[in-house]
Amino acid sequence: MFEYVRVALQKVEAEMTIPSLATVLPLLRHSLGLDDFGEVMISMPLHEFPQISQVLPRMASAEVQTEWTGNHGIPLLRQSCNFVRSAAYNFARLAGRPLDNAAILDYGCGYGRLARLMYYFTDPDKLFGIDPWDRSIEICHADGLGDHFRQSDYLPESLPVPRADFELIYAFSVFTHLSMRATMKAFETSRRYIAENGVLLITVRPVEYWNADPNIPRDLTPQLGIAQQEHGFAFRPHQRPDVDGDVTYGDTGISIDWLEDRVPHWTVAAVDRSLDDPYQIYVFLRPR
């Protein structure tokens, strides 16, 4: 952390008369850019700044970060900031307004990696996170992310949130792991929770992913690549318990053409990606 960031944090610490997220977040947004804000968030708690550390969520351990994402620390933060910057830029371009103060839903929040960065744009009362894995939500609560982070179903008919007008719903590395049935259910259900001028941001795998992931058995890569190229959708289920007769989790590749042709509730509005995380293609969709 650079010295100018520490100086900024000292000023924030001194100005916090009542330690709360409502007071600290505007001060941090005013003092720091997104990357420095992110570095502060992944460094919590910072014992030299007790008031700030009292209200900001504690960061998940390096072990949890790696288990959920395959990476941790600054390299993971760099990937995360690239995604969030793309989300903010493309949201503003498509919705005609900045992401500031928007109602945001983190669909598949994990331990809250990206949600922490979304605090740079919106307040905690407008940010919700859901995840079907109870362990993810347990970690979110234990680290202080609050009761806006809730457990959802693997094949959701509804979502455990109190509003249905989210301006941004994002799902990072969610549709890259869903079965066909779970994919269609996620698209169908999320459509009922988006504002009419809202944006759904998902990530998908390009066909090159199948040869790039060393965890994919080499004897399966040709057929998975062919399935994605010819049919637009390829899925390799993991050894998981089924949900209502369907193994919902695995490795998934989806083409942009498949999204445009097969998803009735959404239309593709923009595509982006980061060279720091090249096999996560960002797809921005608008409600039809």
Per-domain residue ranges for the chain?
Answer: 3-55, 66-287
Do strands 194-204 and 166-171 pair parallel, antiparallel, or not at all (unpaired)? parallel
Measured CA to CA, the distance from residue 206 to residue 284 in angstroms comes to: 15
Q: What is the pLDDT of residues 16-70, one digit of tens each?
A: 888 889 899 999 999 999 999 999 999 999 999 999 999 999 999 999 999 999 9
Buried-state track 213-245, b at ≥16 Cβ within 10 A, e below 16: eeebeeeebeebbebbeeebbbbbeeeeeebee
Measured CA to CA, the distance from residue 80 to residue 114 in angstroms comes to: 7
Q: What pLDDT does residue 131 have?
A: 98
The CATH architecture that domain 66-287 belongs to is: 3-Layer(aba) Sandwich (3.40)
Q: What is the pLDDT of residues 112-139, one digit of tens each?
A: 999 999 999 999 999 999 999 999 999 9
Q: What is the pLDDT of residues 138-153, one digit of tens each?
A: 999 999 999 999 999 9
> Taking Cα atoms as reference points, which of 269, 274, 254 lies closest to residue 83?
274
**N residues, the chain:** 288
